[in-house]
């Protein structure tokens, strides 16, 4: 999909009720998006697939739902207060604002800037004549650090003692509960804790639709293991993520790429990181990060809280701080990858165009649409719709001619349209039309449930 089609995709998602502009009737709030009736369905299916695969049906893992607002000491220990900031630079001429590191990366893709001071970053911009992308001038402010965490106050008095922050990642809620979870579940190392939920970052340059926003959802797993374990748990979880992408959500394997971080590029907590990047319509971007965090976080919280977070192996009497592998992904980023690979415009034999949203089977908001051909079949169709609603995600569609209804269902990704017509009364059959091939079959109503179950497996 090209960048031009990105606008079409966004219009499509808005017009069909997947994603709306946030606060739209008040003129909107920049880079905020609301998920409509179809968006919320696909989002919740995606989250439940992740939960099932990484938590519920995984032999090692359990789940957690920690708070968004944590004791501020959590962020002091984790290094977020003080370290979680981006280098901000403004164009003095047109006032456009950029992340200095991104400005350099976009213009000089081969340069390594990790570890550079703010002054060095500015020097790179000036020496390489990276002009302002908006006005073309080379007249920038100095670079300053911009704190990414959203600050607020807890309680009635808004002063320094009541400052709290919204979490910028779900991971820290897991680390501070490591002991609680281990004690109550009596889990032995290795085991993991999965969590999904909202995170907030006051991004300097949000954009590219839902790719980078200030409020987003993460799905993170922190997997704890003995540092002396000979098994390569990093490879194990990387492989698991790839199986999830291929088999659970059918992401096109030609569109994603595995990129190992260079040493200089690693975050302060990471021993090893791999990004799975996706070819989005606007270019290649990070989709899913897998990091080896060592014992950085547990050690930081053990020091900060003065609590003993060591794990005692009761079989060997070995006492240690576990190491951690973290696969971390944003729900909306994964959705954008799925949306952009699924949006297809087809030219049909009769010269007309159809938009078909080829959403993966497990994620389509509706599996089936029940369509009465004419008014006379409404009652029968509605009865069938109610019967099938128990077992399938179904919608009842009675407005417009049959062609329009097929197009409408194609556009929202409905997998099968089931039409009741004049003959249904006599032959006790319905027509089942498949979304991608548009092929139709007559199926006995008594066989329908079985037929659909097979198809939707």
List residues near ligand GAP by CB under 6 A: 169, 171, 201, 203, 212-213, 216, 218, 220, 286-289, 326, 328-330, 332-333
CB closer to ligand GAP, 66 vs 213: 213
Nearest distance in Å: CB 183, ligand GAP: 24
Nearest distance in Å: CB 168, ligand GAP: 7
CB closer to ligand GAP, 275 vs 397: 275
Residue whose structure tokens are 């490591």: 178
Q: Are 268 and 79 in contact (CB under 8 A)?
A: yes
In the bound state, the residue with its beta carbon closest to ligand GAP is 330
CB closer to ligand GAP, 168 vs 413: 168
Q: Where are the alpha helices (DSSP H) in 343-422?
A: 378-389, 402-412
Residue whose structure tokens are 């003095």: 92
CB closer to ligand GAP, 84 vs 396: 84
CB closer to ligand GAP, 222 vs 421: 222
CB closer to ligand GAP, 18 vs 140: 18
Cα torsion angle, 96, 100, 103, 104, sign: positive
Nearest distance in Å: CB 411, ligand GAP: 26
Nearest distance in Å: CB 238, ligand GAP: 14
CB closer to ligand GAP, 194 vs 372: 194
Q: Could you tell me which residues come within 8 angstroms of residue 209 by beta carbon, excluding any fewer than 6 positions away?
A: 6, 10, 33, 336
Nearest distance in Å: CB 362, ligand GAP: 20
Nearest distance in Å: CB 379, ligand GAP: 47
CB closer to ligand GAP, 197 vs 330: 330
Closest to 322 measured CA to CA, from 212, 224, 440: 224
Half-sphere exposure of 149 (CA within 13 A, CB side): 24
Nearest distance in Å: CB 151, ligand GAP: 17
Contacts 24+ apart (CB under 8 A), 338-343: 338/42, 338/46, 338/249, 338/251, 338/363, 339/9, 339/13, 339/18, 340/1, 340/6, 340/9, 340/280, 340/281, 341/1, 341/251, 341/252, 341/255, 342/413, 343/1, 343/5, 343/8, 343/9, 343/12
Nearest distance in Å: CB 276, ligand GAP: 8
Q: Rounded CA gap, 407 and 429, in Å? A: 22
Edge-to-edge strand list for the sheet holding 368-372: 394-396, 368-372, 416-420, 429-434, 440-444
Closest to 75 measured CA to CA, from 214, 168, 145, 159: 168
């Amino acid at each position: 999909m090209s960048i031009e089609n990105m606008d079409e995709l966004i219009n499509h998602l808005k017009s069909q009720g997947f994603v709306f502009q946030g606060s739209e009737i008040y003129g909107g709030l920049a880079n905020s998006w609301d998920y409509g009736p179809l968006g919320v369905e696909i989002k919740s299916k995606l989250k439940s697939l992740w939960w099932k695969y990484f938590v519920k049906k995984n032999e090692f893992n359990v789940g957690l739902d920690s708070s968004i607002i944590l004791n501020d000491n959590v962020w002091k220990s984790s290094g977020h207060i003080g370290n979680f900031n981006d280098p901000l630079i403004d164009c003095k001429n047109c006032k456009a604002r950029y992340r200095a590191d991104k400005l350099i990366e976009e213009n000089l893709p081969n340069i390594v800037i990790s570890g550079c001071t703010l002054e060095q970053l500015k020097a790179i911009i000036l020496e390489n004549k990276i002009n302002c992308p908006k006005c073309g001038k080379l007249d920038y402010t100095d670079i300053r650090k911009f704190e990414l965490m959203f600050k607020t106050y807890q309680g009635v008095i808004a002063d320094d003692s009541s400052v709290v922050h919204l979490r910028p990642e779900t991971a820290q809620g897991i680390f501070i509960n490591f002991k609680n979870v281990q004690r109550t579940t009596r889990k032995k190392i290795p085991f993991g804790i999965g969590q999904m939920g909202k995170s907030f970052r006051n991004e300097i340059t949000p954009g590219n639709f839902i790719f980078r926003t200030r409020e987003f959802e993460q799905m993170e797993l922190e997997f704890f293991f003995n540092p002396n374990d000979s098994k390569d748990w990093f490879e194990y979880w990387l492989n698991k993520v790839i199986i999830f992408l291929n088999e659970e959500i059918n992401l096109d394997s030609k569109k994603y790429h595995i990129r190992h971080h260079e040493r200089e590029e690693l975050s302060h907590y990471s021993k090893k990181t791999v990004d799975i990047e996706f070819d989005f319509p606007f270019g290649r971007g990070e989709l899913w990060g897998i990091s080896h965090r060592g014992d950085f976080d547990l050690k930081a919280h053990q020091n900060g809280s003065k609590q003993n977070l060591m794990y005692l192996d009761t079989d060997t009497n070995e006492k240690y701080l576990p190491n951690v592998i973290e696969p971390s992904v944003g729900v909306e980023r994964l959705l954008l990858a799925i949306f952009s690979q699924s949006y297809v415009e087809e030219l049909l034999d009769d010269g007309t165009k159809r938009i078909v949203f080829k959403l993966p089977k497990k994620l389509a908001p509706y599996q089936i649409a029940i369509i009465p051909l004419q008014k006379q079949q409404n009652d029968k169709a509605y009865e069938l719709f109610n019967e099938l609603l128990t077992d399938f995600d179904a919608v009842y569609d009675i407005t417009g001619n049959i062609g329009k209804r097929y197009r409408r269902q194609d556009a929202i990704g409905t997998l099968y349209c089931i039409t009741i017509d004049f003959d249904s009364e006599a032959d006790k059959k319905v027509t089942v039309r498949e979304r991608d091939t548009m092929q139709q079959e007559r199926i006995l109503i008594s066989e329908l449930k079985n037929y659909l179950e097979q198809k939707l497996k």
